[in-house]
Amino acid sequence: MGGFALEPDQEKWCERLRALAADRLRPLAEAGDPGRVNRPLLAELGELGLLEKVFDAGALELCLLRESLAYGCTEAETALALQGLGAHPVLRAGTPAQRERWLPAVRAGRAVAAFALSEPGAGSDAAALALRAEPEGGGWRLHGEKRWISNAPEADFYTVFARTGEGPGSRGVTAFLVPADRPGLSGEPLEMLSPHPIGALAFEGVPVGPGDLLGEPGRGFRVAMDTLNLFRPSVGAFAVGMARAALDATLAHTARREAFGGVLGDLQAVAHRVADMATRTEAARLLVYAAAGAYDGGSDGVPRRAAMAKLLATETAQYVVDQAVQLHGAVALRRGHLLEHLYREVRAPRIYEGASEVQRTVIAGELYRTGGVG
């Protein structure tokens, strides 16, 4: 990618992805049950080789993948991203045995992964985790709860972050790979505004041992942040894909909707609003690409850039979708309309993987630590 534009082969790949999302993935998504893991959809993502990309691609390619799928089928995008989020710690910090056991099945869409970080009292403040890992023999037993966990309680395994107490705050957090069939582990689905599966997990003395560690004891927060630094820009890409879909729908609608002796697009108030929507979307898109490029290039300031990309893109998508609904009028609020769907989907990314307020805290902290943008 050049400084401000994709290469022709990248553009063509994105076009193919948008077509796949509309033609092959959206029908499977529509046949699924909202709030439930859609295993046929995951299997198709595996068959198409798209889940492989989540683990083999760089950050920019991951962003292009998520943006393109989001444009044509948000459910497919989310299913793909959750596989990556749940299993990326296994790829980066897992043992050879863990990788061999789980990653081929995740890549094929046969096993469902989940990233279990948030708790009832520790969402945005991930260092405040309360799930306890109490030593027992040569291992631990997990006691506590996780909540707002995507793919729970239907996942086949969970990347779980628990407090082992090697130090205060984030220094006492350890990451574990916990298969769903471990005794003492139970869960329930939560009914949420967004249509993807989210649930709560209860850990009642769940046994884990050294073979379940992801990385070293007390170093789990680094595992979590390594995952989030990769996926935060691509959350922004998901948001950009939704914004672009809403923008294109608005352009088509305002170009043909007759009103006041012409079409809506002839009205300066409407045309200027569409121009603002397009400008903000393009700015967010470029910032996402820049953050992904920084990650791929090993540049300084990756946490700041990732936080900026997620912040701007998710806030922009909320604005663009809201304006699109306003310009469409009541038809956009009808169940099943693209914008009604996007309106429900677009709200959650401003909260998960670090709320907008957390992103601002990360950005400001990095700026003050380094003395500027560099």
Residue 33 has pLDDT above 50, yes or no: yes
Q: Which residue in 99, 114, 176, 110 sits closest to 148, CA to CA?
A: 114
Q: Are strands 157-163 and 113-116 parallel, antiparallel or unpaired?
A: parallel
Contact between 233 and 303 (Cβ < 8 Å):
no
Residue 327 is predicted with a pLDDT of 97
301: left (phi over 0), alpha (psi -120 to 50) or beta: left
**Rg value, the chain, Cα:** 21
**Residue appearing with tokens 């970080």:** 117
SS3 of 7, please?
A: coil
C-alpha to C-alpha distances, 276 to 195, 264, 270, nearest whole angstrom: 28, 16, 10
Residue 228 has pLDDT above 90, yes or no: no
Q: Are strands 198-208 and 185-189 parallel, antiparallel or unpaired?
A: antiparallel
Average pLDDT, rounded, for the chain? 93
Strand stretches in 180-286, DSSP E: 185-189, 198-208, 258-259, 262-263
Reading the block at residue 69, the tokens are 């799928």
State which amino acid sits at residue 240.
Answer: V
Residues β-bridged to residue 113: 157
pTM confidence score: 0.92
How many alpha carbons fall within 13 Å on the CB side of residue 34? 10
Domains of the chain plus CATH, in order, are 8-92+100-108 (1.10.540.10), 113-218 (2.40.110.10), 222-370 (1.20.140.10)
Cβ atoms < 10 Å from Cβ of 50 = 24
Q: Which residue in 11, 28, 144, 121 sits closest to 77, CA to CA?
A: 28
Residue 145 has pLDDT above 90, yes or no: yes
pLDDT-derived band at 219 (thresholds 50, 70, 90) equals very high
Q: Which residues contact 156 (CB under 8 A, 6 or more apart)?
A: 105, 111, 112, 113, 179, 180
Q: Which residues contact 31 (CB under 8 A, 6 or more apart)?
A: 40
Reading the block at residue 92, the tokens are 């980066």
The CA dihedral of 344, 331, 244, 252, to the nearest 10 degrees, is 170
Reading the block at residue 175, the tokens are 């990451």
Q: Could you tell me how far CA 256 lies from the centroid of its own chain?
A: 35
SS3 of 159, please?
A: strand
Higher pLDDT, residue 4 or 148: 148
Chain length of the chain? 374
CA-CA distance, 116 to 113, in Å (whole number)? 10
Residue 374 is predicted with a pLDDT of 61
194: left (phi over 0), alpha (psi -120 to 50) or beta: beta
- DSSP symbol at 371: T
Residues with a known catalytic role: 353
40: left (phi over 0), alpha (psi -120 to 50) or beta: alpha
Residue 1 has pLDDT above 50, yes or no: no
Tens-digit pLDDT profile for residues 87-131: 999 999 999 999 999 999 999 999 999 999 999 987 767 668 899
**Residue appearing with tokens 């030593």:** 135
Cβ atoms < 10 Å from Cβ of 348 = 20
Residue 171 is predicted with a pLDDT of 82
Tens-digit pLDDT profile for residues 327-347: 999 999 999 999 999 999 999
Residue 5 is predicted with a pLDDT of 75
CA-CA distance, 67 to 239, in Å (whole number)? 7
Residue 195 is predicted with a pLDDT of 79
